[in-house]
Amino acid sequence: MSELKEKEEPSRSLGRTLISLATYNELENMPIIVREIFEYAPDVDILVVDDNSPDGTADWVLEHQRTEPRLKLLKRAGKLGLGTAILDAIEYAVKNDYEFLINMDADLSHPPKFIQALRQKANEPPNGYDVVIGSRYIKGGGVEGWAMHRRWMSYAINLFAKLMLGLKTKDNSGSFRCYKLEKLKNFDRSLIISNGYSFMEEFLFRLKKQGATITEVPIIFVERRFGSSKINKKEAIDAIFILLKLGIRGR
């Protein structure tokens, strides 16, 4: 598909869509990610869920939403975590009558050119899918810019999630996903015990138990351009114990 074709304005039949970006100190990335999302998907709205970033991320959004009605802000009191940021974005999307929510990382590791592939798969006849994962680990997907130890760590956590939670999908830790909001209107967020990076696997596990249809489309994950990764060794260890707990309970 040519670059021109990728950036054509999409059909409204893809459904009213909100893109959520959970942010903490992502000021350098905001002008780029917002511009690129609107280039590839001009009919979407963007919700920035900011955890009171000291670098002024929320201030940048407030300034630019004066002239850009598609840009929204949900500013939170502090660093409350990725999991609650996504759940808050889902609640916002449901209350404002969106049909789909696509969650992306704000650090440019999820290229916006793949947005339309997720939307098209979510709308695929006859009934579409409740969750579409932008997958690094199916044919056509991949990772750029990662050292070997990060590749092995990601592979191991995804294999562990499949074994413990009975997930059939290959990329269960990635956060680039499209959710059909009809399926999430009555989701009980009090069920969630994760808030860090195990949230992504647990959320799939909970949705699968509720009968959600889940599939994957290939994406190329690219290492962040600016800033530093928010994940640390403690969160990785915590994630393993939470997945173990969920697996034991599930059995």
140-165 confidence digits (pLDDT tens): 999 998 888 888 888 888 888 888 89
User: Which is higher by pLDDT, 248 or 65?
Assistant: 65
Phi, psi of 73 (to 5 degrees): -135, 135
pLDDT tens, residue by residue, 14-62: 999 999 999 999 999 999 999 999 999 999 999 999 999 999 999 999 9
Round the CA-based radius of gyration of the chain to a whole number and report it: 17
* Cα–chain center distance at 202: 14
Q: pTM of the prediction?
A: 0.89
CATH-assigned architecture of domain 3-250: Alpha-Beta Complex (3.90)
* Measured CA distances, 132 to 91, 201, 229 (Å): 19, 14, 24
* The predicted structure's pLDDT at residue 87: 96
pLDDT tens, residue by residue, 185-202: 999 999 998 877 789 999
